[in-house]
Structure 1
């Protein structure tokens, strides 16, 4: 099956059952695409806020190992989200580059 340039698969910013990737196929203007846009924007905002907290915590010598471990876990989650968004947007760009016309 070939997708036209107006109907492409988009990697969503959340996983499906069993942690598998979820996709939506369409023009990118439907309710699922809008929800994905909002989720990605929220994930990126949280990542920016987390970086601010990380800078402050890393400069504070009184922060405990447990707090740093918690920070590391949240940074891993934020990086995972950002990479998933980049992958999704890169796939969209690649599809657009290969579309006829």
Structure 2
């Protein structure tokens, strides 16, 4: 299944630095000054898609493990699943934060609509 970046409503996005889906070695956030085009913006879009896809697969796996009649996970397997789900949730929250920062506010949408 091919993953694609989610398009923005009406193709609108706020200007300013974009929170990237990765951090520095010290765990600090990385930002990109971009107009939404270019190699790094495309790379970030693709990484976000992969992160969200992996999260969806982990959620499906976790749900399958709770189905009656399935093999009961060991403590080690449950810990692994909890760690991976935590990582996936962290990635999804970062994507949501990044995308939320790029949405236009009501005033900005009106201005953008007048420019069209």
TM-score normalised by structure 1 residue count: 0.85
Q: Which has the higher helix share?
A: 1
4+ long deviations beyond 4 Å: none
Report the counterpart of residue 83 of structure 1 in structure 2: 93
- Contact 1:54–1:71 (CA under 8 A) maintained in structure 2: yes
Equivalent position of 1:35 in the other structure = 43
1:11-56 C-alpha deviation (Å, 9 max, x unpaired): 0000013110000001011110000000000000000100111011
Normalising by structure 2, we get a TM-score of: 0.74
Q: Aligned residue pairs: how many?
A: 95
1:13 aligns with 2:21: yes
Task: Please tell me the root mean square deviation across aligned C-alpha atoms, in Å.
Answer: 1.8
Q: What's the CA shift for 1:62?
A: 2.3
Residue 19 of structure 2: SS of its match in structure 1? strand
